[in-house]
Amino acid sequence: MTDFNEHTITQAVLKSFSATPDPRLRAILASLVHHLHDFIRDIEPSFAEWQAAIDFLTRTGQMCSDTRQEFILLSDTLGASMLVDAINHRMPEGATETTVLGPFFVEKRPDVPNGADVSAGRPGEKLLVQGSVRAAGGGPLPGATIDIWHSDDDGYYDVQRGDLDTASGRARLRTNADGKFWFWTIHPAFYPIPHDGPVGELLRATERHPYRPAHVHFMIAAPGYEELVTHVFVAGDPYLDSDAVFGVKQSLIADYAHCPPGTAPDGTRMDQPWRHLSYDFGLKPLAAALQTGAAA
């Protein structure tokens, strides 16, 4: 076949993929070609605009490194990450809601016992985080692993700072025999997503701000349950209603209570005012995930 024009090209490309053996790949490619060609017909890009788009995506890839994930930022700021999240997490009663992973999770993090201070001495208001992990609608889950990571008092993650040689505001711990966990850290600050790259250009061109409301990230895993990836946001934060990555859910907003000097619930004597977050998590059983998938 030859002489394709703007009316016949789509069918020709669809036909070229029609013998793809994997039915899922075949369906995905058919939808991609349909939507991509319709998008191009809708915007009718000039060659210069198409070249700018290629250049934008090229630079987005080139911006990525072990500690910087520009494509996740792009997915997040377009709402694509939260859409994928919403489709994949239709949650049962009692299960904690999910939100974006974000670009600052890294595999390298220290294992710490309950009660540890994970701030590595960074300045900021001391924060005690206490919580529990339960099966949604069920009992406590001992031995669940809990990854936490959060910004510091200046709004930076440890991996963004060139002046740190140890993890800070980042650790992995486990629930005790009662399904409980607790650790000390510093209160996180709201922060801008990295905006010195292509995604920042996009935000400036569209007059959007780059800020995310303050939060602590949690990734919680236990055998037989769906891994939970979520945040707990700080109630009262000025950016709760305009998160640059659309990640806020009401059930994930909690009081990081202001506490006067005194004795904290874990027995620590506090000479300065401090903050206290108490939050209980519910994990979705894998069996429920299978049932939900079958019903969908």
- If the CB atoms of residues 102 and 200 are measured against Fe ion, the closer one turns out to be 102
Residue 102 contacts Fe ion per CB under 5 A: yes
Q: Are strands 211-212 and 228-234 parallel, antiparallel or unpaired?
A: unpaired
Query: Segment contacting Fe ion (CB under 5 A): 8-16, 101-109, 200-208, 232-240?
Result: 101-109
Question: Binding of Fe ion at residue 285 (CB under 5 A)?
Answer: no
Answer for the pair 202, 186: CB distance below 8 angstroms, yes or no.
no
Crossing angle of helices 23-43 and 9-16, in 10° steps, is 160
Both tokens of residue 183?
């650790």
- Stretch binding Fe ion (CB under 5 A), from 5-13, 95-103, 252-260, 279-287: 95-103
Compare residues 33 and 214 and give the one whose CB is closer to Fe ion. Answer: 214
- Residue 10, SS3 per DSSP: helix
d(CA 231, CA 240) in angstroms, rounded, equals 12
Minimum distance from residue 273 beta carbon to Fe ion (Å): 24
- The least CB distance from residue 103 to Fe ion, in Å, is 8
For Fe ion, the closer CB: 13 or 81: 81
Judged by beta carbon, residue 73 or residue 135, the one nearer Fe ion is 73
If the CB atoms of residues 222 and 244 are measured against Fe ion, the closer one turns out to be 244
For CA atoms 67, 98, 73, 37, give the dihedral sign: positive
- How many C-alpha atoms does 280 have within 13 Å on its Cβ side? 14
User: In angstroms, what is the minimal distance from the CB of 210 to Fe ion?
Assistant: 12
> Would the CA dihedral through 197, 147, 126, 112 be positive or negative?
negative
Smallest gap, in angstroms, from Cβ of residue 112 to Fe ion? 19
Reading the block at residue 125, the tokens are 């208001």
Tell me how far, at minimum, the Cβ of 293 lies from Fe ion, in Å. 29
Minimum CB–partner distance for residue 286 and Fe ion (Å): 27
Find the length of the chain.
296
State the number of binding residues for Fe ion (CB under 5 A): 1
- Positions touching Fe ion (CB under 5 A) are 102
